[in-house]
Structure formats: C-alpha cells, structure tokens
Amino acid sequence: MVYKMKNLSKTLTYIFIASTVILLVSCGSIIKTIAGIPKLTVYSQEEIDSNIKKAPIENNVIDAQLSQDLDTETIKSFIYMSIPYRTYIYDKNNSLMCYNGETHCGITQLDTLRQSSIKDNYAQCDSITLDTDIDSYLGNFHEITSKIILPKESNFDSYQYKILVFINTDISKDELIEDWNYIYNSLNTNNPETIFIRIWTDLNEDWGLKYGAKAKFKVRKVKDSKGEYYMTLPKLPYKK
C-alpha cells in the first residue's frame, strides 16, 4: 500500500499494490509502502524512550517528542506525517525546500543525492508545490518546533539545512533502522551545518490516553477510483 498526502485534505490516500515493501521518493518526503494498515499502541513514557534508543545515534541528529499540551487534531496531523516517513528540508532562512522544484521523484533521485548534495538538487518550494501543504497541517518551521519537546537551549539558526523526519514506531514496525539509515545516508551531507530532527509520534499515555489501548485507522474507498482509498484516524483512545 502506498501512502501519500491528500492535497488540501487532512486525510491520507493509499493505493493497494501488493504485500511487498518499497521505498519511493516525493520531493522532501519519503513515501513508505507497507503491507497492512497499522494499529497504533498507547505507550508509557519509559517505553517510548526505549523505542527511541533503538534508532541509530548520530552527532547531527536530535530526537524530539510531541508536547503534552497538543490538541487531538494536531496530534493526528503529526501521525499522518509519520505514515510515509515524510521528510522535510528547510534552509538557513527556514524556507521549505523541494527536489528540483518537483513534487514527485523516483528512488533513483534519492540515490543521486547519495552521490551529490542537497545544495545541488534542492531549491525553495514554490506556491504550487504539494509539500508546502505541511503549513496547513502543522505550520512553518518555527510553529512545528514549538509543538515538540527539544533539548534545552536548542538553536538552529546557524544551520544551513534543517531536516525534519517524522517517525512512528508502530508504523515503522521492524524496518525502522533500515529505513532510517536509508534516509540519513541519502540526505546527510557530512556537513556540520546540517541538522536532523527526528520527530517521534508514538502515542503517549501522558497525553491522557489509555495505556495499552489501540488507535485504529478508518478506510474508505474513493468514489470512481481504481483501488484508491481515504485513510483517517477517527479518534484517539482517551481515558474516560
């Protein structure tokens, strides 16, 4: 199933392909193809910290979690961003960047980045680029970082490139390390002016959710489409 953002709608669209796993690229984002629709588990803070520790540690990577005072719709928006491993690159002026000005790219372009650089392939997104819709979901760079918990005194003004990667343990399943390494190795410029911010969206009982409960996605077929569906997260399992 290929997950992709539905333009101007806070839903996700996926197309059933097969039970294989494929990685595709959308300018500024990784679209993850997975078999099956994941259910999201509510974890304790200790368990989330343990999940994060399983990911590779790099000098230019910061791990962040969602603030505890977010409303339900904002939490859902962060989760939607995690389904296809959406990855966004911002420049020194916090402007969103796109791959050669195009929204959709192929895996060969991502491989090209491994042999090239962000500077040679990315430019500021224009007003009609699909990925700029992140503004309507979560806001601009400053607004997004205001909704997550970062290390004290974090300051990103000196970085030439700031890369946001949205990750959810249940969506990643057992492929988290492999997928992260692919993203990191493709976009890492070995440049001290590049910083990665991994934003973890695991459901946290500290948000008032019932520990161990599951959040289930709802699927609805798109009218007159060929195997295309809307997928939404109707509700989160809050404590009664």
pLDDT tens digits along 167-209: 999 988 888 888 888 888 888 767 788 999 999 999 999 999 9
Most distant CA pair in the chain, distance: 53
Q: What whole-number distance in Å separates Cα of residue 58 and Cα of residue 36?
A: 31
DSSP letter for 164, please. Answer: E
Whole-prediction pTM value?
Answer: 0.81
Q: What whole-number distance in Å separates Cα of residue 153 and Cα of residue 9?
A: 35
Q: Which helix (H) or strand (E) holds 149?
A: strand 148-149
What residues are paired with 65 via a beta bridge? 149, 200
pLDDT tens digits along 56-98: 999 999 999 999 999 999 999 999 888 766 778 899 999 888 8
DSSP letter for 238, please. Answer: B
| Core vs surface per residue 55-65: b (16+ CB within 10 A) or e | beeeebbbbbb
Weakest mean pLDDT among 14-23, 91-100, 109-118, 171-180? 14-23
**Sequence letter at residue 230:** Y
| Residue-range domain boundaries for the chain | 2-232
Q: What whole-number distance in Å separates Cα of residue 66 and Cα of residue 70?
A: 8
How large is the average pLDDT for residues 37-58? 93
Query: Radius of gyration of the chain from Cα atoms?
Result: 17
